[in-house]
Amino acid sequence: MTTQVIVLNGGSSSGKSGIVRCLQAVLPDPWLAAAIDSLVDAMPASLRSTDAGIEFAADGGVHVGAEFLRLEAAWKEGVAAMARAGAGVIVDDVFLGGPESQERWRKALGGLDVLWVGVRCETAVAEGRGVARGDRAPGMAASQAEVVHRGVVYDVEVDTTHAESLDCARIIAAHVKGPTSRTRPRPAVSDPA
């Protein structure tokens, strides 16, 4: 079986995005990136300030509502469809619901070969990165650092506290199964004559 999807789970500012970029550079074939932050950015602004959507509390807490979960489920099905169509996909997510979040992914990715990756980082380091980014509420990294991993089962884990993204990507890439070229469906070709 060939790995079709790589799911990275870790708290805010744990280094997932850097690892995704490095994985895209070290894996022999092109892989698409699908980040939860992109989903949030794609949602209307009205869903970023209501209990039906996603709310970012001043203390760094994140709360999601029913409308967010509905759109997130559709996004996950879209990610799975891309993988089923032959694209390798690297998911960058934050399992706020721990094992329940992983189970929702398992359901969407049913039948696909998935590599589950835990991305850890010491809280103080992640908090410092969040401050440096300037787009994260103080306390977000601390509130997510451990809770996103509780009860989640991984194939491989990396820790970015003292390791560079490229080193972590190489560790993950060593666990990717399959041939050096992905099997992609061939497009239908019509005869113009």
pLDDT in tens, 92-108: 999 999 999 999 999 99
Tell me which residue of 21, 2, 1, 12 sits closest to 166, measured CA to CA.
Answer: 21
Q: Render pLDDT for 38-89 as a digit per residue (tens, 0 to 9).
A: 999 999 989 987 888 887 777 777 878 899 999 999 999 999 999 999 999 9
**In the predicted model, is pLDDT for residue 176 greater than 90?**
yes
Query: Pick the catalytic residue: 37, 113, 155, 159?
Result: 37
CB 15 within 8 A of CB 160: yes
Taking each helix axis as running N to C, give the angle between helix 165-173 and helix 16-26, from 0 to 180 degrees, rounded to the nearest 10: 60
Residue 134's pLDDT band (boundaries 50, 70, 90)?
low
Our answer to whether residue 159 is catalytic in this structure is no
Q: Compute the distance between CA of residue 108 and CA of residue 24 in angstroms, rounded to an integer.
A: 23
**Residue 126 confidence (pLDDT) above 80:** yes
Region of residue 7 (left: phi > 0; alpha: psi -120 to 50; beta: else): beta
Would you say 22 and 169 are in contact if contact means Cβ atoms under 8 Å apart?
yes
Q: In 3D, which of 193, 155, 158, 154 has the Cα closest to residue 177?
A: 155
119 or 132, which is more confident: 119
Greater model confidence, 134 or 128? 128
